[in-house]
Amino acid sequence: MTEFLDACYEAITKQKAAIGDTIDNVDTSAASIVSGSEIVVLTGCGDSLAVAEYGKWAFLSQGINALVVSPPEVERLSLDDASALIAVSASGRSLTTIDALRKAGEMGASSILLTDNPEGSAAEHAETVWVTKSHVTSHDISPSSPTTTAMAYLLTIANSIESGYDEDLADDVKVLKSDAEQILVWAEEEGKKMAQIINPGSRLYLISEGPNYVAAQIGMCKVNEYSLTFASTILTEEFRHHYVLAVEEGDSAIVVSDSNRNMVPYMKALNDVLGIQAYHLKVDDELDLSTSLSQVFPNSIALQMAAYYAVLHHHPDKKGWKKSNVSAFEIY
């Protein structure tokens, strides 16, 4: 165990308190910016792009028009004063995200920064700053708590919009706050199981759709960050139609689905027909989370745990990121 891996694990466990603390500190009056916009564009990089994708599903569930683009794509959009851009950057220093905020402002759109670091330079380019309570002291480790707390912020904003579309959402928000310790225990046990099929040198497919595709994205980011192997996210139906042709012996797959989705035939095809190691990740009924939007949280934490336990097994002496890879592009 190294200081780096120890810090990564500690950041994962901080979610036990951080998600609830963030929910309690959301300024829901800011929801009017979202509900009053004709379109809401969300953007971010890496884990923050997954958060943006989560926000899209949260707002769509409440009848809000929302889409996700990569920061450099913002300039390709036609935004105006009836539009809003929500830029997600946990560190508050992503250069392309800062540029996206600047361009949105030039087009007249409302600009919001969702960050864990309000002192970062990105805050200077946003009209409104939403701040998470991740409780981490460094953003130079594998992102975990800053990611799910940003999701919690967006979920709380969406839940505060009176739409009548999803009445179960409010109950699930309460569960995320009150049962965080149980969620973390479940996620760690699931993570340990999934870590057993994450093998260096073989590809890992993370398969999902809808809100839980966000959990798959987060899992992909963790596996790739630790340099464990090459992981990719794939839509459930796209794997059946196309990616199935690329599967090779030794590959693994993690399928993330809503708890009420019957995936038995799908898993049988992966395990028995294709002969790859496959694991089905879905939330247990005992967690009492009924909506897809809430189930993303335990599934995401489980995948964070899976990557952590896999690197702990295969590379217990890991002291940080691959330095050459980190410095290859100027992102901050």
Examine the pLDDT at 325 and tell me if it is beyond 80: no
Instruction: Give the helix ranges, DSSP H, for the chain.
Output: 3-13, 15-24, 31-35, 47-60, 95-106, 145-160, 169-178, 180-195, 212-225, 236-241, 264-268, 292-314, 323-327
- CA-atom Rg of the chain in angstroms: 19
What's the pLDDT score for residue 257?
A: 97
Q: pLDDT tens-digit profile of 13-56? A: 999 999 999 999 998 888 999 999 999 999 999 999 999 999 99
CATH fit for domain 3-166, picks 3.40.50.2300, 1.10.1060.10, 3.90.1010.10, 3.40.50.10490: 3.40.50.10490
Q: pLDDT tens-digit profile of 188-228? A: 999 999 999 999 989 999 999 999 999 999 999 999 999 99
Cα separation, 67 vs 73, whole angstroms: 12
For residue 249, what pLDDT band results from cuts at 50, 70 and 90?
confident
For residue 126, what pLDDT band results from cuts at 50, 70 and 90?
very high
Examine the pLDDT at 332 and tell me if it is beyond 80: no
Report the interhelical angle of 169-178 vs 292-314 (nearest 10°): 40
- Alpha carbon of residue 95 to chain centroid: 20
Provide the total of helices (H) and of strands (E) in the chain, helices listed first.
13, 9
Cα separation, 253 vs 236, whole angstroms: 11
Amino acid identity, position 118: P
Quote the tokens at residue 7: 């810090």
Q: Give the mean model confidence (pLDDT) for residues 270-288.
A: 95
Q: Give the mean model confidence (pLDDT) for residues 259-269.
A: 94
For residue 143, what pLDDT band results from cuts at 50, 70 and 90?
confident
The pairing of strands 252-256 and 277-281 is: parallel
DSSP three-state, residue 222: helix
For residue 266, what pLDDT band results from cuts at 50, 70 and 90?
very high
Neighbouring C-alpha atoms within 13 Å toward the C-beta of 60 = 15
Q: Give the mean model confidence (pLDDT) for residues 180-188.
A: 97
Q: Are 134 and 22 in contact (CB under 8 A)?
A: yes
DSSP three-state, residue 197: coil
Q: Are 117 and 88 in contact (CB under 8 A)?
A: no
% residues pLDDT > 90 (the chain) = 84
Q: Give the mean model confidence (pLDDT) for residues 295-311.
A: 98
CATH 3.40.50.10490 domain extents, the chain: 3-166, 180-314
What's the pLDDT score for residue 206?
A: 98
What's the pLDDT score for residue 210?
A: 97
What's the pLDDT score for residue 271?
A: 94
What are the C-alpha distances in Å from 300 to residues 156, 259, 294?
Answer: 18, 14, 10
What's the pLDDT score for residue 166?
A: 63
Neighbours of 286 (CB within 10 A): 9
> What is the model's pTM?
0.95
Examine the pLDDT at 11 and tell me if it is beyond 70: yes
Long-range contacts (CB closer than 8 Å, 24 or more residues apart) made by 100-106: 100/43, 100/71, 100/72, 100/74, 100/75, 101/125, 101/126, 103/74, 103/75, 104/41, 104/74, 104/79
CATH architecture for residues 180-314: 3-Layer(aba) Sandwich (3.40)
Angle at 120 between CA 158 and CA 5, to 5 degrees: 85
Poorest-pLDDT segment among 119-133, 156-170, 279-293: 156-170
Q: pLDDT tens-digit profile of 221-248? A: 999 999 999 999 999 999 999 988 889 8
What's the pLDDT score for residue 136?
A: 86
Q: Are 258 and 282 in contact (CB under 8 A)?
A: yes
Cα separation, 66 vs 286, whole angstroms: 32
What's the pLDDT score for residue 163?
A: 64
How high is the mean pLDDT of the chain? 93
Cα separation, 58 vs 69, whole angstroms: 16
Amino acid identity, position 33: I
Q: Which residues contact 312 (CB under 8 A, 6 or more apart)?
A: 1, 5, 195
What are the C-alpha distances in Å from 178 to residues 28, 134, 136?
Answer: 20, 17, 21
Q: pLDDT tens-digit profile of 55-113? A: 999 999 999 999 999 999 999 999 999 999 999 999 998 999 999 999 999 999 999 99
Quote the tokens at residue 60: 């769509």
